[in-house]
């Protein structure tokens, strides 16, 4: 099974999309829309301090009557961030995401954030791996 580092190499959004904790939620939403992503890392300089997802927005702004223009990201972000390493395999990450009930997993290499994978990225990798295995089995049977 593929390692997370291989997923990061093939992602459309390269690098790390992040926002400061003091930024208004509206800026984070614009950033997510601009990059076509469902979560953004919250960084204080080079340090990961949280993650903000569309789910955080829906539950902590919309449902509580706050405004995205005046609410800072730090007030609604998830502070406890579950992370993975580039050497972790896809199945390990899927298991962690299922157990912790998260949809996005920041990837840290020696405390440096090097990327972010979503549950969709992991599912796609599993499907691609299964297609390749099936093709190999079909070739073996027909040869």
28: confidence class by pLDDT, cuts 50, 70, 90: very high
Domains of the chain: which residue ranges? Answer: 4-142
What's the pLDDT at 1?
Answer: 66
What's the pLDDT at 14?
Answer: 64
DSSP string, the chain: --BHHHHHHH-SS-S--EE-TTSBHHHHHHHHHHHT-SEEEEEETTEEEEEEEHHHHIIIIITTT--TTTSBHHHHSBSS---B-TTSBHHHHHHHHHHHT-SEEEEEETTEEEEEEEHHHHHHHHHHHHHHHHHHHHHHHH-
Task: Answer yes or no: CATH 1.10.10.10 is held by domain 4-142.
Answer: no
* pLDDT tens figures, 70-117: 999 999 999 999 999 999 999 999 999 999 999 999 999 998 999 999
For residues 53-59, average pLDDT: 92
12: confidence class by pLDDT, cuts 50, 70, 90: low
């Amino acid at each position: 099974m593929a390692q997370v580092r291989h997923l990061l190499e093939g992602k459309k959004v390269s690098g790390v999309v992040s926002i400061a904790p003091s930024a208004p939620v509206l800026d984070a939403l614009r950033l997510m829309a601009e990059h076509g992503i469902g979560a953004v890392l919250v960084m204080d300089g080079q340090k990961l301090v949280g993650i903000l997802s569309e789910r955080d927005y829906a539950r902590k702004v919309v449902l509580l009557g706050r405004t995205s223009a005046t609410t800072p990201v730090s007030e609604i972000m998830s502070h406890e961030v579950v992370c993975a390493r580039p050497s972790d395999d896809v199945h390990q990450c899927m298991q962690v995401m299922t157990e912790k009930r998260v949809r996005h997993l920041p990837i840290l290499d020696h405390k440096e954030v090097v990327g972010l994978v979503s549950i969709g990225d992991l599912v796609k990798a599993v499907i691609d791996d299964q297609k390749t295995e099936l093709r190999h089995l079909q070739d073996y049977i027909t040869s």
